[in-house]
Amino acid sequence: MRHPADFPLADPFALPPLVSSSADPTTSTSPLVAAQAAPLTAIVAQDQGGVRLDQFWMGQAEDLGVARSRIQSWIKNGLALINGSPCLRPGRRLAPGDRLELRAAVPSPGLTPENRELRVLYHDDDLAILNKPADLVVHPAPGLNRGTLVHRLLHHFPELAGKQAGGMDTARPGIVHRLDKDTTGLLAVALNEPARLRLASAFAAREVEKVYLALVHGRPRAEGVVDAPIGRHPTSKTRMAVTEKGGKPAHSAYRVLWTAPEDRFSLVQVRIASGRTHQIRVHMRHVGHPLLGDPTYCPASFTGWQDEVPGLSALLRRPMLHAWKLGLPHPRTHQPLSFVLPPPKDMLRVILAGSRTTQRVGLTGMPGCGKSLFLAELAALGLQTWSADKAVAELYQPRRDGWELLRRNFGDRFIPDPEGPVDKHALLNALRETPRLRRELEALIHPLARHHLESFWQTHRTHRVAAAEVPLLLETGWPSDFDLIVGLACDPDRRRNWLLTNRGWDANLLADVESWQWPEAKKIRACHLVVANPGTRDELARRARGLVDVLQWLRRQAVRRVLARITALVTPEQASDSNPA
């Protein structure tokens, strides 16, 4: 058993409660005075004038799960009264102050206690605080008379069905507020009728604080308020919507706590000042950021990125919504109680999986250090690889973009045959002789090579890691394209001898090419990791395997950092609205 923290609540919000049928409808704070076992009575509020009779009762009785067609049938059978007189027309428009009665209420089924798990966080003689799991309906409804949370409550708290229950609703004993079937988190239950009445009064007086955590598509602005009425969707009976007419007032205030890479989705806290059906789901959709995993209110246009993250779609089995914080006065002592419940594992798994991005590794080094061989070893180990030299060679193929630019800017100077290849020997000599020409050519070709690299990242965006060899990575100002830069170091004399012997370079060419790059010491210092080329292919392959292990370890560390970050945001010590992360 965990006892609540003892501190006052700020900005409490509440749901309008159901009150007993014996209450005076002229003084009740709720338009719905009686629940399932007794006739429903209500008074039409000022802002509900002009609403159809059937629409009014559909909205008032939405918690009962009654279809609009059934309500229309009751009305046509003379079971609806307006100011004491029967009305047989479902489409009758109502006037403010009309006194309504609906005599056909949903019959309360006989409830059988069920010995199934109930996660009780706190309880005493008057109150229980539960951790509701996903895929669990709170109370019975037409067509659902078993397997609900209420059935479990009756087993674990038999007093709810005993004499001490008093006049408690037999279909929903102890229930003072609800969570949707797939919403997880904190739920308060009254264990006797006096406690239920006091909690209902606290909800009506907005002495109850309710804050949710939600994962929503995209990055909303840092914080916002949604003040938009909610009612039945005009064309879909199973959905709710923001409506201009006939809707109930609904107020939600959200704040962004964290956003995933590439602004894929965000973790937001949502404080509600009302408790309409599907309120948070409808309001976040209304502002353009529907919940992840919500098949009802999230259009397919928002979900395309999910298929690019391996395994994510399989995790999104429900709308990502969790009742995170609950504060209320104790029904007997009036002591302020406050509870914070971190999100469930499935929500954390979605955060971690959805945060995954391709680990982009850049490989650089001086001429002759073995970059190409090392890249080949990484490819042999299953990494996706890219080479800047190969990309430029492709760009210089006839009629390709690099070839076209050379032809357009320099005529036949480097492409003597209008249909032939680039004369790379002439191009290299010109670059050595004219520094200005080298800078001009770099300004033409480097953007094309970088676009080629961006296409590579995009093509392999579902892979955990990819590597690109870029000799001038640091000199060209591309580090922002990479998560990690690896420098390949080699004994200077050995690599120079290799270039002179195997590439046919002379000392002057070697000096010129090295002058186009940073000094070796500066280049190596700028890298995140350095791999020494030992001089043999077998040993180089072993170093490649070692790098792959290091990269995997770094990815795991990144996951741990994300988990630690989210945990810090949602734990009781850090979950204060006065100092959001």
Residue 322 near residue 213 (C-beta atoms within 8 A): yes
Residue 262 near residue 314 (C-beta atoms within 8 A): no
- Catalytic choice (54, 63, 98, 180): 180
The number of beta carbons lying within 10 Å of the beta carbon of residue 415 is: 21
Residue 360 near residue 31 (C-beta atoms within 8 A): no
Interatomic CA distance for residues 325 and 271, integer angstroms: 9
Closest to 19 in 3D by CA, of 274, 197, 275 = 197
| DSSP letter for each residue of 2-59 | -PPB----SS---PPPP--TTS-TTT-SSS----TTS-EEEE--GGGTT-BHHHHHHH
- What is the torsional sign of CA 2, 3, 5, 10? positive
Distances (CA, A) of 526 to 423, 479, 531, 544: 34, 10, 13, 20
Count of residues in the chain: 581
Interatomic CA distance for residues 233 and 231, integer angstroms: 6
Closest to 127 in 3D by CA, of 32, 193, 49, 58 = 193
Phi-psi region for residue 444, left (φ > 0), alpha (ψ -120 to 50) or beta? alpha
Interatomic CA distance for residues 64 and 104, integer angstroms: 12
Q: What angle do CA 423, 367, 378 make, to 5 degrees?
A: 105
Interatomic CA distance for residues 3 and 43, integer angstroms: 40
Q: What is the dihedral of CA 268, 139, 318, 323, to 10 degrees?
A: 20
Residue 240 bridge partners (DSSP): 232
Q: Is 491 a catalytic residue?
A: no
What letter would DSSP give residue 291? B
Return the structure tokens found at 528: 């995140």
The number of beta carbons lying within 10 Å of the beta carbon of residue 108 is: 16
Interatomic CA distance for residues 256 and 218, integer angstroms: 11
Q: What is the 3-state secondary structure (H, E, C) of 189-226?
A: EECCHHHHHHHHHHHHCCCCEEEEEEEEECCCCCEEEE
Helix and strand counts by DSSP (H, E) for the chain: 16, 20
What letter would DSSP give residue 97? T
Interatomic CA distance for residues 272 and 451, integer angstroms: 46
| DSSP letter for each residue of 118-144 | --EEEE-SSEEEEEEPSS--SS-BTTB
**Tokens 């002759």, located at residue:** 368
Known catalytic residues?
180
